[in-house]
Amino acid sequence: MSAVDAQALLRGHRIVPVYTPGGVEEAVAVARALLAGGIGAIEVTLRTAVAMDAIAAIARDVPGMKVGAGTVLDLAQLRDVQRAGASFAVSPGSSAELLHGAVDLGIAYLPGVATGSEVMAALAAGHRLLKLFPAQAINALELLAAWRGPFAHARFCPTGGIDAALARDYLRQSNVACLGGSWLTPADAVRAGDFARIQHLAREAVALAAD
């Protein structure tokens, strides 16, 4: 059995908003606003008690949005997010249990990497699209340049500290397939129910990715 191709699943989705849900109805509204702005994939983090229900609601109620689960830390969570309807899963790091468990479960998985050894372990397990985290804290632009040679077949989704001003520099890297960022779902806009602003930020992000 081989790993599900996360890169193929997310092809065309160059910016993946990272969103921590405060409620189920809120999550659906955020996903609809992003989709209306041209963003077709979202990572919902498992950092609140409503996250599983939010993933299930987006998967059910927002056709056209690929919903992923972030902050997946163990195999039990991986099983749970797949049952909830997530089409992909993302981790801040990786473990042998998750690297091989994702293959066994048949779910697209972006393991978190920050070192060459972690990249090698992920590639050996069959994963080709890897979350590079925490991007800004580890000077990911230089890492991406250094890794183009030894890891020519790997593609990365840098996440962590990236905003609209930095996104273009990351997207220009030949080994970056997509990137994750929370700037599209700012907390103040979410709290205020300002989904028009989120839609506007999504449109800006789509234009930025197309440059």
- Tell me whether residue 131 is one of the annotated catalytic residues: yes
- Tell me whether residue 26 is one of the annotated catalytic residues: no
Alpha helical stretches, state H, the chain: 6-9, 24-36, 51-61, 75-84, 96-105, 116-124, 140-147, 164-171, 187-192, 195-210
What is the sign of the dihedral through the CA atoms of 109, 6, 157 and 190? negative
Number of domains in the chain: 1
For the stretch 80-132, pLDDT in tens is: 999 999 999 999 999 999 999 999 999 999 999 999 999 999 999 999 999 99
- In order of 34, 81, 111, 112, 152, the CA distances from 71 in angstroms are 21, 11, 10, 10, 27
pTM here is 0.97
Q: Indicate whether 59 belongs to any domain.
A: yes
Q: Indicate whether 41 belongs to any domain.
A: yes
What is the CA angle 144-112-14, rounded to 5?
Answer: 60
Instruction: Give residue 77's pLDDT.
Output: 98
Domain limits at 175?
A: 6-210
% of residues, the chain, pLDDT over 90: 99
Instruction: Give residue 166's pLDDT.
Output: 97
CATH at 20: 3.20.20.70
- The mean pLDDT value for 182-193 works out to 97
Catalytic residue among 43, 66, 142, 204: 43
Which residue in this structure is represented by tokens 């309807």? 85
Q: Indicate whether 157 belongs to any domain.
A: yes
List the structure tokens of 136: 């800004």
Q: Indicate whether 1 belongs to any domain.
A: no
Instruction: Give residue 1's pLDDT.
Output: 84
Catalytic residue among 25, 66, 131, 204: 131
For the stretch 22-31, pLDDT in tens is: 999 999 999 9
